[in-house]
Amino acid sequence: MDGVLIDTADAVHDAYTDWANSNDLDPDEVLEIVHGRRTVEVAAHFGLDDDVEGEADLIEKAIADRASAADAIRPTCELYKSLDPARVAVATSARRDTALTNLRVLGLEHPAVLVTGQDVESGKPSPDPYLLAARQMGIDPARCVVVEDAPAGIKAGKSAGAYVVALTTTHEADELDEADQVISPDQLEELFEPLLSSGGA
């Protein structure tokens, strides 16, 4: 979701920086590993095992409080709106309340399937989020197109057996070369045109 439908890079940066400082951690070290990973995994990585859920709640709330409709990645949101919601799944490392807040902020309908970081044992780069989404959709993962923006998500999608399209919203193209296709958000409509013209997904 983040980096695909909404660009909360500034919100994530500020929230994690504040969190790192409050826990006497180096913000740069924290920011180096956060993208595409669940907040509970970040908290656990830095040894805050006593209350990872509580720490994750604090971080996610700080990010959500900073997010706004102005952070929408317009081409992706427009594509989302043009697709049949019954055939759309969102698999995100965010917690469910954060994901629902982002959908509301963006004015997007609830997808047929929403898989969050709380729904799987292992988050991205594990394939679990995408395997669960495909299973709940009743679709073979090999028939799914995954849109991602980060190496961890790309690895998750590829490991699940999906076709992965990477957007250059948060990383340079050469950092996304494990994807099947690397494009800018403005190229999304052209890429999905055959699908849209055959019935709107």
Q: pLDDT digit string (tens) for 129-163? A: 999 999 999 999 999 999 999 999 999 999 999 99
Same structural domain, 13 and 95: no
Same structural domain, 79 and 62: no
2 falls within a domain: no
- According to DSSP, the β-strands at 113-115 and 89-91 are parallel
Query: pTM (2 decimals)?
Result: 0.80
CATH of the domain at 180: 3.40.50.1000
pLDDT at 198 (0 to 100): 54
Same structural domain, 111 and 170: yes
pLDDT digits (tens, 9 = 90+) for 50-75: 788 899 889 988 988 887 777 899 99
182 falls within a domain: yes
Separation CA 128–CA 91 (nearest Å): 10
Same structural domain, 48 and 76: no
Q: Which domain holds residue 169?
A: 70-197
Least confident span in 44-48, 89-93, 166-170: 44-48
The domain total for the chain is 2
Same structural domain, 108 and 59: no
